[in-house]
Structure formats: C-alpha cells, structure tokens
Amino acid sequence: MRTQVAIVGAGPAGLMLGRLLEQAGVDAVIIERRSPDYVLGRIRAGVLEQGTMDLLDAAGVGRRMHAEGLIHGGIELAFDGDRLNINFEKLIGKHVMVYGQTEVTRDLMDARRDSGTISIYQAEDVTIHDVDGATPRITYRKHGVTHALTCDVIAGCDGFHGVCRASVPEQAVTTFERVYPFGWLGVLVDRPPVADELIYAHHARGFALCSMRSSTRSRYYVQVPSNERVENWSDDRFWDELRTRLNPATAESLEAGPSIEKSIAPLRSFVAEPLRFGSLFLAGDAAHIVPPTGAKGLNLAMSDVKALAEALIERFVEGSAAGVDSYSTKVLQRIWKAERFSWWMTSLLHTFPETGRFGRRIQRAEFDYLAGSQSAQGSLAENYVGLP
C-alpha cells in the first residue's frame, strides 16, 4: 500500500491530522496499535481552549461539542480553604469548553469512518524505516501477516510511549524532562458536579481538583505519592481524602457515589527537540508532555496538528516546503509557553515534600498576590484559555 502521509497513532492528534488532510485532498492512512474500543475507553482530561473549539468546527466535527459541552467562564482556586474566583469573561472576555477528550476522539473517529478513509487498528510491531532516505515506510503485522505502507511523510502521533520518537537515533534528539514526585488519583462518578466551576485546591495534605464531564457526571482528583497504588484506595477512602482537602462548605455539598473509573496518572513535564527528523514529524504527546494542572495536553496536541496539517497541505497541494521546514521551530515556541504555564500551576497548587515550610509560605504568597492583583489574574486567565 502507498499513501502520502502515514500517521502513527489514532488518538486525538492522529485523528485530527487525518481529518484536516482529508479535507484538503491529501491522502493519509492511520495505523494504530490498539482497538477502537480500547482507545475510547481511556479517560483523559476535558477542557477545550477556544482554538481547539475552532479547529473542531473547521474540521466539521463540532456539532456534538456545541450541543453537549459546558461553557465555563472561569475557574476557582482554593488555598487551605480560602477561595478565589478567576473570572475569564470579566478579565479577558473569553471562556473555555468542558467536553471530554474521549468525546472529541469519538467525534473524530465517527467522521473518519463515515469518510471511508483507511485506518488500520490493532496493528502489531509497527516499525518505521528510512526516515532519512528516499523510501520512508512503515511495516506492521496484522492477523499474523506483515504489511508495508510506503509514504512521503510519517506523522508520529503515537503518544509518549510510541515508536516514532523512540526510533530516532539518540544523538539526533535532545530531551528536557521533569518528573514530579507525585501523581493524580482520579475518580469518575455519576453524580452532579460539586460546583459550577472547576475547583483547583491546594491543601497541606496535597492538591485536589473538582472537575466534571456533564451536569450529571463528575471527575475528581487528589495528589498522591508516585509510588501509590490504586488498590489501596477504596471509594470511601477517596471521598474522605477529597473532602478533607476542600473548603468545609464545598466538602459539605459534595455528592459521593460508586466510582465508575479509578486510576493513577504520573505527572511529568517533557519536551523533545526538534520535532522533525527527515520525513518524520512528531506531534502531540509523542513530542511533549505537560502535567495536567493547566489542562493543556489535548489543546497543545491540537495546535501541533493544526500547524502540521497546514505545513503538509502547503507541501502536497502547493508544492512548497517552507511550512514543513519551519514546523518544528514554530510549534516549539507555543509548546514551551504551555510547558511553563503547566509547571507554574503545578508548582503553586501541589505539596512538594522537598521544599518544606519555606516552600509552602512562598505558595501562599503567590496565592495572596493573585488574589490582590488583576494583572496576575489576567495572566493566569490568558494562559488558561490559550495563548494565540
């Protein structure tokens, strides 16, 4: 088989790239190691920036988001029970949309299926070849048979643990990484959210987040040490810990219930540079990871693929290599700004075993500064809703 763009990975990045290329008449095949159901079973974050909403609309897959998503004009921060509303609408006249990444993936998957373009799921041993040479191609195994897909360009949209970045010779890539000494224990529950806005709470026992998927389904998180095991957390233990970390009035109105999903995600900041190696281009989690505190992971993946799609369309439709040549430099600027913001939100809101009492006083001062400064709040707001 032959295609112009071979996309590895059918997460939101790979699916969106496929969609944008298909709209422009550029031929692309997606190769994914898991099954569609497995991909849809992963519970991920769910806050969309305006740029992501616009991209879903431009891709013709925004209908359900507008019907079912929840528009949020702000967030609440809390520090040892003291509350601070950050009102995006008032500060900068913008908002975000709460709509689960799983739903974005489903909408893109449905559109791809309806378009009849080719996606190969459950592909084993996906291997990339000759990205520096004249015949880039991908081989994979399906039902015991090995297949080859030749192409002009490979798009590595295969997440942090994917094969694409791992195939690049070590000396060709520089990585920047910070692994935090904690993770987030998350619970999904069919109960109404505790508050209208998302609540990001700092507490001496650790960070907590109250989020939601709809008016009847909530998502809650508590910070736990990196070596914590989900088996140690009964639902009761989770709800007790969450209530302890919230302000008393919020804790009082929290509706607990049986968890329908419970898992621990590690927190990491990571960037690989550059994002292009010959005919291989990285996008999304394959290229970078942010801790989820700033809700940037999905949005960053979407802004990468928007830029990559434009560059590839320029190359295949207009015959100009300018876009592909500047892709890496261009998107890394935005990536590092989102890395900075996600690191900053993480630093403000979590407890860090190594920084001690001094560190907590600095965090408190940061919170008090935010509470008293419209410019500081404006800075948070413009980063949270998404930089241009």
Residue numbers at the binding site for ligand PHB (CB under 6 A): 45-47, 198, 211, 219, 292-293, 295
296 is catalytic: yes
Question: Between residues 56 and 301, which has the closer beta carbon with respect to ligand APR?
Answer: 301
Of these residues, 12, 72, 140, 288, which one is catalytic? 72
**210 vs 256, which CB is nearer to ligand PHB?**
210
Q: What is the 3-state secondary structure (H, E, C) of 127-191?
A: EEECCCCCCCEEEEEECCEEEEEECCEEEECCCCCCCHHHHCCHHHCEEEEEEEEEEEEEEEECC
Listed residue (6, 13, 10) closest to 287, CA to CA: 13
11 binds, among ligand PHB, ligand APR, none (CB under 5 to 8 A by kind): ligand APR
* Partner from ligand APR, ligand PHB, none contacting 34, C-beta within 5 to 8 A by type: ligand APR
Alpha helices in the chain (DSSP H): 12-23, 36-41, 50-58, 63-68, 88-92, 101-115, 164-167, 235-245, 248-253, 297-313, 322-349, 356-372, 374-385
Q: How far is the CB of 192 from ligand PHB (least distance, A)?
A: 15
Q: 121 an active-site residue?
A: no
Q: How far is the CB of 126 from ligand APR (least distance, A)?
A: 4
By beta-carbon proximity to ligand PHB, the closer residue of 119 and 346 is 346
Bridge partners, 148 (sequence order): 139
Is 291 catalytic? The answer is: no
Nearer to ligand APR, 120 or 189 (CB): 120
State the Cα–Cα distance between residues 285 and 266, nearest whole angstrom.
14
3-state SS assignment for residue 342: helix
Which residues make up the interface to ligand APR (CB under 6 A)? 8-14, 31-34, 39, 44-45, 101, 126, 157-159, 162-163, 284-285, 297-298, 301
384 belongs to the catalytic site: yes
Whether 180 is catalytic is no
Cβ distance 128 to 136 under 8 Å? yes
**Catalytic machinery residues:** 72, 200, 292, 296, 384
